[in-house]
Amino acid sequence: MARFLIGEFTEVTATMETFIKQRPIGEMTGGLSAKGNSDEMGEVTVDDAVAFIVRFENGALGTFEATRFAGGNRNKNKFEINGEKGSIRWDMENMNNLEVYFADDEEGTQGFRLINCTEEVHPYAKNYWPPGHIIGYEHTFIHVIDEFFRGIAEGYQPTPNFEDGVKNQLILEAIETSSKNKSWVTIEK
């Protein structure tokens, strides 16, 4: 998401940690969680938390955090972008709204504005419910499929695409390398 909103990454510095080194061996019994089916313990080989800083090609800095230990956050994929002209923020748990702040607003009325993104003027919204009716998580997949088929029909390369996937993987590898080496790592081109 950050690449589409801000631009390409040039380098990262990161730290990763696995807090719980062993967990009960489990099996999926339904839903999205595993339950331990015995007293057998297994080594944990994935991180529990990561934090990293990125430099973008345009000179911007970004900070990122991901953790399994954010109690109360069900799907809190969110972003906040701050700049000299204002700020914008969005949260997946409140995906129908966008918060915007304009630095040039009059002093007495400055503050974040809540924009409902389900009005017909917003991309994709005209294909769903009447204005003010919310969209859901499942609609994000419909948008991807729509872009894919429109790309075929109209002869353009939709995004995200395979190239975006490769670029994202290079960023993830640089984050892991940075954490291991405790240094800034340049993103491969």
Q: Residue 189's pLDDT is what?
A: 84
More confident site: 82 or 33: 82
Task: Give residue 146's pLDDT band: very low, low, confident or very high (50, 70, 90).
Answer: confident
Tell me the average pLDDT across 146-175: 93
Q: Give the mean pLDDT of 21-46.
A: 73
pTM for the full model?
Answer: 0.82
- Tell me the mean pLDDT in the region 162-172: 96
Q: How confident is the model over 60-118, as pLDDT tens digits?
A: 999 999 998 888 888 888 999 999 999 999 999 998 899 999 999 999 999 999 998 88
If one compares 160 and 10, the residue with the highest pLDDT of the two is 10
* pLDDT value at residue 124: 75
Instruction: Supply the pLDDT for residue 110.
Output: 93
- Phi/psi for 78 (5° steps) reads -140, 160
Is pLDDT of 28 > 60?
no
Confidence bin at 33 (pLDDT 50/70/90)? low
Tell me phi and psi for residue 88, to 5 degrees.
-145, 140
Q: Give mean pLDDT, residues 151-155.
A: 95
* Residue-level pLDDT at 31: 57
CATH of domain 2-182: 3.30.360.10
Query: What ranges do the domains of the chain cover?
Result: 2-182
pLDDT at 38: 66
What is the radius of gyration, based on Cα positions, of the chain? 20
